[in-house]
Amino acid sequence: MKSTESAENEGLLIRRIKNGTVIDHIDRGEALNVVKILGITGTTQEALSIATNVQSGNMERKDIVKLTNRELSKEEVDRIALISPRATINIIRNYKVFEKKGVEIPTMIEGLVRCPNPGCISNTHEPIPSKFRVLKKGLHCAYCDWVITKDITSHII
């Protein structure tokens, strides 16, 4: 006879977590970028599970990231929204979903993305954080008018 826990996990690609965060509905192929954004290098304390290219009812395919014993900050969620605007954040406590929310794409982001323009004032030795307006076509630097349209992940600080 199977234990209750093993019966509940049957058919799951990744085992349930007791406490932590599940980032679901990540755009296909972006899970490793989400891990990079969160600064997880393998030397941190939380256990990490990643599922990529998973079949989904709402999306054709999706990625999923599970982190044990960690809840994300608003800044981390804003970073995820930049590369996966349909992602959902599930806070798990004692194996149950305590809170579920979608990410919200901010209209303005400050200090999260490095401007690729080396002449931008945010890249000089001045103590000025980068500032970008979030547009449908990309990120627009508030200082130098540079627009990032591709590979946003590589510019996230």
User: Is 70 exceeded by the pLDDT of residue 1?
Assistant: no
Count of CB atoms within 10 A of residue 144's CB? Answer: 17
Residue 119's contacts (CB-CB under 8 Å, 6 or more residues apart) are 144
* Per-residue model confidence (pLDDT) at position 37: 84
2 confidence band (pLDDT: 50, 70, 90): very low
pLDDT of residue 118: 93
pLDDT at res. 12: 55
Nearest Cα neighbor of 144 from 110, 124, 117, 126 is: 117
C-alpha 34/C-alpha 62 separation (Å) is 13
Q: What pLDDT does residue 13 have?
A: 63
Q: What mean pLDDT is predicted for residues 62-89?
A: 91
Note the pLDDT of residue 156.
Answer: 83
- Work out the pLDDT band at 62, boundaries 50, 70, 90: very high
Give the tens place of pLDDT for each residue, 89-136: 999 999 999 999 989 888 998 988 999 999 999 998 888 999 999 998
**Over 50: is that where the pLDDT of 7 sits?**
no
Contact (Cβ atoms closer than 8 angstroms) between residue 105 and residue 152:
no
Average of per-residue pLDDT values in the chain: 87
Cα separation, 57 vs 61, whole angstroms:
8
pTM of the predicted structure, to 2 decimals: 0.77
Higher pLDDT: 154 or 10? It is 154
**Hey, what amino acid is at 58?**
N
Average pLDDT over residues 57-74: 90
